Chain A
C-alpha cells in the first residue's frame, strides 16, 4: 500500500480518506461500536467559543461562560496556552471538532482519538448508557436555550441570572446517583389500589361513623419527617418542594439538573474515558503504519505529540499537578492487553480470570462496566504501580507529620490500589450533603446535613456562600450541619433568605 499523504497540509479529501482508513481498522478489525461521526472543521476562535460553553455547541447564556471565554481568550492571545486539539460531544451522531490549524497528522490523531475512541466509549460505557441520551441532548439544549431566553424576556435578565447562579452553585448536588428501582412505581400503583379499597370500605362503613371516636394521643408519635428519608439530589428536592418558586423557576432548575446529569458520567470516567481514547488512537495509528498507509514522518509527529499527552511528571517535578488521567488510563488499558497476551506469574496470581485470554473482549468488558473508581480497584496491576512508582501519603491533622502509608512493594500494592481508587470516588471527593429535614409545622426552615468522611470539615467560606444560594431558592431559613462519624454535630451554618430578592 502507498501512503495516503506525505505533506502536513490537510484537505477535505484527505480527511475523508484517513477517516475511511481508520474506520476500516476500528470497525472491521477491532469491532469498535460507534455512533455515526460528524467531523466539523472549525477555527481557533470557534474553538474558544466551544470551550467556554462547556464544549456544547448550543447552550444557554450565562455570565460564567463569558468569564470562562474572557480568560481563555486572554491566555490564548498571550500564548500561555495552546487550545486543546479536540472537543468531542456525546451526541448521536457524535460531533468531533477538528481545528483548522492542525496538521494532517494531528487531524488523523484527533479523528482516531475522538471519533473512534471517545465515541465508542460514549456508546459503550454503562454510565453513559444509563444517564445520558445521546440522540436527544442537542435538541434538549436548544429547547433549554430558547426557554431560558424567553424567561429573560419575560422576567428580566437579572432574575434569571440570579436563579442560574444559585442553581450552578448546587450543580454537583443536582444529580441522581442511582436509578430508582422500577418497582417504586409498582409500589405506588399498589398504594393507590389500597387507597381506593380503603375508600370503598369507608363507604361501606358509613354507618359506624356516627359512633364517637376516642381522641387519639398524637403527642407520643413524633411529628412526621419531611422528606421521609434524606435526599441527596438537592436540586431535585428544591425543584419539587420549595414552596415559593414560580413554575418557570422550577423549569430552569430542572434544566440545570438535566445538564448536570448529562455531565455526571464524564466526571466519573475521566481516567477510563481519556485512557480509552488514547489507547485507541495509539493502536489505530500504529496499525495504519503497519499497513504502510502512513509515512515515517507522520509517525514521528504523531509519537511526539502522543508522548506529550501521556507524560506523567513525578511528584518532585515543579510542574507536577496530580496524576495525569491520560497517562494512567492509557497505561492501564495497555497493561490489561499485556496481561491478556503475555501474562507473568504475578499476573496469573492477581488476574487469574483474564490472564492469557483474548484481549479484545476483556478490554471491551472493562470499558463497558466500570467507572474510574471501580476500574482502578479492579485492574490496577502491581507492575503498573511499580512502573509509576506510586506511593501513598496519609495526612492526618492530629499527627504533626505526614506518613508514607504504602509504596510499590509487596505489602503496599493492595493498599495503594484501594487508596487510588478512593481518590477517584466522587462520593468521597465531594462533601456528602443531603436534605435532612424541613420544619413543616414551624418556620419551614430547611436543614441540610453534611456527613463527614474521615473527619474532613467543610470549607467554611464557600459553604456559607452556597448556603445563601440555597436559601434564595428555598425562600426560608436554611441550616447546614456537619455531623461526624459518632453522629454529633461539629459545624453549623445558617442563612436567612434575602426577603426582597425573590418576590
Chain B
C-alpha cells in the first residue's frame, strides 16, 4: 500500500537555519561587502538587498583528490574518427581528454560564489556596526509602523473578533428563510383546522390528525437552530501604514582638508541612520546637502561625499545657508525639519560664538531635532564647548563625539525614544 501525504502546507523554510549559518560563517566577507555597498550607495537608497560575492577558495570544502599527472585512462562515448593506436595532441586547458580533477585550481574554477542578501539581512549587518538597541532595530525595520484598520467582515477569525450584531442579523435572516415554507404550511393547516372545527360534522379523528400535523410543523420550526456556525461573522481588520507627513533633512558637513575618507564614511553612516529613521515616520522626505569650509554651498549627494576641498573652516557659513534655505523653501508648517551635522571639530576661533547664536535664534526654533557629531580623536575645541552650552538649553539638540560607528547611535537616542510621528 502506498501512502500519499500532502506536505505542501508544512513550513518551507527548513533551510533558513542553514542559510543563517552560512551567513554567520562568512560574516567578515559579507560585512566588507555591505561596507562597500554603503559607500557606493546613495543615502536614500539604502534599503534594498545586496549582491555579495565570496571567493570560491574561501568557501570550498577540501577533500583529498588526485592531481595532475600519472597515468589516466578514460572511456568516452561518440567516437567518430579514431582507431586504436592513434596519437592525439593533448588538449590544453580544461578540455575533455585528459586526467581528472583539473577544474579545481585553474581557469574557470576561480569564479566568485555570488548570492543575494535579502533586505533584512543587509540591514542587520548595517545595524550591527552601529550597535543599535533591538527595539530601535525593529522600529527601523518597519515592523511597528502598521496600524490596523477596519475592513468589513469575514467568515472566519478568532472568537474575540466575532461581530455579534452581524452574526445575529445573519442568524435571524437564516431562521426566517428556513422557517418560511413551514410557516406557510402551518398557517394553512391552522386554517384547515378552524374550518373543520366550525363545521358541525363529527370529525374528531380528522381534527386530531390535523392537530398532530400542526404540532409536528411547530416542532419543525422549533428545531431550526437559533444560531449556526454558518452565521458567524468576524470583524475584519487589515494593517495599513500609519498616515505620515513630510520632512526635510539637512546634512551639514565640514569638507575642509582635515576630513579624510574614513571620517566622511563615518559621517555617511550617521546621515543614513537619520534618513532611515525619518523614512519610517514620514511619507515624503527631502534631503538637502550643505558642505562648507570657509564658505558653504548646497550640493548634490555625489559632490557632498566625494569632492575634496581644503582651507579653513567657518561653520557659521553652513548654518546661515541652512537658515536661509529653511526660510525660503520649508517655511510653512507642514515640513518637519531635521538636521544632522558632521565635523571634525575645527572652527575659526571667533566664529564659534556666532554659531551658537545662529543655532539658537534661526535654526533650533524651527527644527524637530538637531544632531551633531564630532569625528575626532583629539581634544574638543571651542565649537564643542559652544555647542555644549546650546545642548544644555535645548532638549532637541544632541551631540556626540565619535571614534567608531558604534558611537553614532547615542546621538539619536532621544529621537528614537520619542516616536515623533505623532506630533
Question: Which residues of A does B touch, CB under 8 Å?
Answer: 12, 15-16, 19, 23, 36-43, 45-46, 48-49, 52-53, 61-67, 69-71, 74, 93, 100, 115, 157, 161, 165, 168-173, 312-317, 320, 323, 388-397, 400-409, 411-412, 416, 419-420, 422-423, 429-431, 433, 450, 452-463, 465-466, 469
Contacts and interface: CB of A to CB of B under 8 A. Distances in A.
* Nearest 10 A/B pairs, CB to CB: A314-B78, A66-B22, A456-B70, A66-B18, A459-B67, A455-B70, A465-B62, A37-B2, A391-B79, A454-B71
A420 B73 CA distance: 9
Contacts of A23: 2
B72 interface: yes
B3 A39 contact: yes
The interface centre, meaning the residue of B1, B17, B68, B70 with most chain A CB atoms within 10 A of its CB, is B70
Contacts of A317: 78
Contact of A409 (B65, B76, B84, B105): B84
Interface string B101-144: 10011000000011110000000000000000000000000000
B82 A391 contact: yes
B71 to A, nearest CB: 4
Main secondary structure of the interface of A (DSSP, over half): mixed
Nearest to B115: A70
A26 to B, nearest CB: 11
Nearest to B54: A67
Contacts of B87: 401-404
A173 B64 contact: yes
A316 B80 contact: yes
B75 A423 contact: yes
Contacts of A459: 64-68, 101, 104-105
B69 A420 contact: no
A397 B61 contact: no
Given A19-B2, A46-B8, A452-B70, A431 B75 contact: no
Contact of B78 (A63, A74, A313): A313
A74 B116 contact: yes
Contact of A391 (B75, B98, B101, B116): B75
Contacts of A161: 21, 25
B59 interface: yes
Classify chain B's interface size. 35 or more
A395 B72 contact: yes
Contact of A53 (B14, B62, B66, B73): B14
Interface in B76-92: 76-80, 82-90
Given A46-B14, A67-B22, A455 B71 contact: yes
A462 B88 CA distance: 30
A455 B64 contact: no
Contact of A49 (B15, B25, B64, B82): B15
Contacts of B67: 456-460
B77 A402 contact: no
Nearest to B22: A66
Given A53-B18, A392-B75, A456-B72, 15 more contacts: A23-B2, A38-B2, A38-B3, A40-B4, A42-B7, A46-B7, A52-B18, A66-B22, A67-B113, A93-B3, A393-B73, A416-B75, A422-B73, A431-B64, A459-B64
Nearest to A19: B2
A394 B71 contact: yes
A111 B267 CA distance: 61
